[in-house]
Amino acid sequence: MPLHLEIVTPERLAYEDDVDMVLVPGIEGELGILPHHTPLVSLLGVGELKIRKGGTEESFAIVGGFLQVRPDKVVVMAETADLASEIDLERAQEARREAERALESGYHEGADLASARAALQHALLRIRVAERRHREGPRRGG
């Protein structure tokens, strides 16, 4: 029995398909979900989500989300979800420089500091996911 996976953000349904396995960045380490997993609701960290399907692997950069495993499907809810092959590396680099500048420019209020840090973390994640993808290419076989 395949695993029905949905990745949902406030702005769109980012992914929906039957897959073999999904690896998510759980808040306490990576979490692998196979069919017939017990019903679970878990917070997700900032990280990479990997989907295995018929020998291929796809990955998403996930920020600020949680996971709901139900008997009929798995739903990943995230504030943003970017498909690795769709990440614009240059724009991510630009976002990283901007976030670093914001952090270096001295004094910060609590909220500003937190959001600048979050932006930097997000940019770094996108770069990591995109670069890994570029290096390895879409993985086949298995």
Partner 1 sequence: MASQREIRRRIGSARNIKQITRAMQFVAASKLRRAQETTLASRPYRETLDEVIADLAAVLSGDDHPLLAERDFTQAHSRLIILITSDRGLAGALNTNTIRHAAREITEHPGDLKVVAVGRKGRDAMRRARVPIAAYFEGFGDRPTFADTLPIARLVSDDFVAGTYDRVDIVYSKFVSTLVQRPVVDQLLPVVPSADTAGIPGNQFLFEPNPGMFLRSLLPRYVATRLYQAVLESTASFFSSQMVAMKNATENAEELIEDLTLSYNKVRQANITREMVEIASGARAR
Residues 6+ apart with CB under 8 A from 65: 44, 76, 77, 78, 79, 81
Is position 109 an interface residue for partner 1 (rule: CB under 8 A)?
no
Torsion angle of C-alpha atoms 43, 45, 51, 56, degrees rounded to 10: -170
Nearer to partner 1, 41 or 85 (CB): 41
Is position 1 an interface residue for partner 1 (rule: CB under 8 A)?
no
Tell me the C-alpha to C-alpha distance, in Å, between residue 84 and each of 30, 40, 138: 18, 26, 10
Torsion angle of C-alpha atoms 1, 13, 77, 54, degrees rounded to 10: 30
Is position 104 an interface residue for partner 1 (rule: CB under 8 A)?
no
Q: What residues are paired with 21 via a beta bridge?
A: 52
Q: What residues are paired with 58 via a beta bridge?
A: 51
Closest approach of Cβ 13 to partner 1, in Å? Answer: 5
Binding mask 112-141 for partner 1 (x = CB under 8 A): ------------------------------
Binding mask 40-79 for partner 1 (x = CB under 8 A): xxxx--------------------x-x-x-xx---x-x-x
Nearer to partner 1, 113 or 134 (CB): 113
Closest approach of Cβ 48 to partner 1, in Å? Answer: 19
Cα gap 2→132, rounded to integer Å = 27
Could you list the residues that contact partner 1 (CB under 8 A)?
6, 8-13, 26-28, 38-43, 64, 66, 68, 70-71, 75, 77, 79, 111
